[in-house]
Amino acid sequence: MNKVICLTVKIFITFAILFASTGLFAKKLIVIKSDYLKTNDSVFVFTPKGWSADAATATPALFLLHGWSGDYSNWSKKTDIQAMSDKYGFIIITPDGFYNSWYFNNVDPAKMQWRTFFDKELYPMMVKEYKLVPEKTFITGLSMGGHGAINIFLDDIARFRAAGSMSGVLRLDDTRLKTSDIPKVLGPYDPESPLYKGGSAINRLEGYNAQLEKAGKEYGKMMLITCGAQDGLAKSAFDFAAKCDSFKIPNILIISPGNHSWKYWEFALDQHLFIFSRMAEGKHLGF
C-alpha cells in the first residue's frame, strides 16, 4: 500500500507510507522542511505490531540517533529496527543528524541549527503525532549520536525518562575528529573554549540534580552508558560514569567485548531497549 498524507502546520510534513503490517502502518518516512536546518530532515518512524494511535495508554518511544558520516537510514540498513520495535513494543524514531552536525547548533546562524530543530520542531511533532509522554520517552545513539543523545537529555531532562549512549563521544577531546570535522560546526578547535568544553556531556553534569528536583524523582531518571572494551572511546564511557557517580547521578555503565562497529551497536541497541522497556513497565533494574 502506498499513500501520501500532507499536513500543513508550522512546518511542512510529508508522510510517505512505505509498508503496512496487519492493517496498521509499521514504518513511516517523514520529511520535514525546516528553516532551522536550512534543508529537509528525513525521519523513519517504526511502530510496533498492533500499534494504534487510539490506544488508551501511551506507547513507549525511543529517539535513536546515528553516528558521524551517517544518516536517518543507517540504523534500518544495518539492523532490523522493525523487529526491535515489535520485540519491545517501542515506537522507534530515527532522525537525520546529517554527516557532521554533531547534533549541535552551528556557530554560524546561517547554517544548520540542529539542536533548535529538535527542541522546536522534531520533539513537539513526535509528541503530538504519537502521543508521547515523558515517563515513557527515551533517547540514545551511537558515537556522535551517543554524544547527541546525552546532551539533548541534559538540555531538559523533563522531556525524557532516560538517555543512553553507545560508544558515545562523551568528551569531545576523545575523538580524532575534534580538529578535522567538529571545527566545521563549532569553529577552530580550542579545548578550553566554552563551545568545546560546554559541548562535552561530561562537563554538563553539575546542574543535573537541580533539574532532577524540578522534573520529579518519582520517574527514576537515569543514564545508560555502554561501550565496547576494545573501543577507543571506552575511557570516555568510564570517565563519564565516574563523574556521574561523584555527583550521585543514577547511571548504568556496561563495558563488554567489542569495538567501534555495527556488530557491537546491534548488540548494544538490544541492551538499551531491554533496560528501557523495564523502566517503561515499572520494573526494577537490580537496584
Cα distances (angstroms) measured from residue 145 to each of 13, 62, 70, 95: 24, 13, 10, 11
Topology given in CATH for the domain delimited by 3-280 = Rossmann fold (3.40.50)
pLDDT for 216: 61
Three-class secondary structure of residue 161 per DSSP: coil
Cα distances (angstroms) measured from residue 118 to each of 104, 126, 148, 233: 10, 10, 11, 26
Residue 286 sits at φ, ψ, to 5 deg, of 90, 5
Does 28 or 6 have the greater pLDDT score? 28
Distance CA 161, CA 283 (A): 13
Q: Shortest CA distance to 115 belongs to which of 195, 189, 217, 52? A: 195
Q: How many residues does the chain have?
A: 287
pLDDT for 195: 95
To the nearest whole number, what is the mean pLDDT of the chain? 91
pLDDT for 16: 39
Residue 171: pLDDT above 60?
Answer: yes
Three-class secondary structure of residue 115 per DSSP: helix
pLDDT exceeding 70 applies to what percent of the chain? 90
Distance CA 160, CA 138 (A): 5
pLDDT for 218: 56
| Report field, pTM of the whole predicted structure over 0.75 | yes
In DSSP notation, 172-207 reads GGGSGGGTTTTHHHH-S--TTSHHHHHTSGGGS-TT
**Digit-coded pLDDT (tens) for 43-52:** 999 999 999 9
| Cβ count near 218 (within 10 Å) | 7
Three-class secondary structure of residue 248 per DSSP: coil
| Angle formed by the axes of helices 262-280 and 81-88, nearest 10° | 20
pLDDT for 18: 40
Residue 10: pLDDT above 70?
Answer: no
Q: What residues does 16 pair with on adjacent strands?
A: 4, 29
Mean pLDDT score, 175-197: 96
Does 212 or 106 have the greater pLDDT score? 106
Q: Which residues contact 222 (CB under 8 A, 6 or more apart)?
A: 162, 249, 250, 251, 252, 279, 285
Distance CA 97, CA 185 (A): 13
pLDDT for 6: 32
Give residue 133's region: left, alpha or beta (phi > 0; psi -120 to 50).
beta
Residue pair 172/203 in contact (Cβ under 8 Å)? The answer is: no
Q: How many helices (H) and strands (E) does the chain have?
A: 10, 10
Does 6 or 111 have the greater pLDDT score? 111
pLDDT-derived band at 207 (thresholds 50, 70, 90) equals confident
Mean pLDDT score, 108-127: 98
pLDDT-derived band at 7 (thresholds 50, 70, 90) equals very low
Distance CA 77, CA 34 (A): 25
Q: Shortest CA distance to 221 belongs to which of 260, 248, 255? A: 248
pLDDT-derived band at 25 (thresholds 50, 70, 90) equals low
Residue 148: pLDDT above 90?
Answer: yes
pLDDT for 287: 84
pLDDT for 212: 82
pLDDT for 217: 59
Q: Which residues contact 284 (CB under 8 A, 6 or more apart)?
A: 278
Cα distances (angstroms) measured from residue 105 to each of 74, 83, 129, 228: 22, 33, 25, 29
pLDDT for 178: 97
Residue 271: pLDDT above 90?
Answer: yes
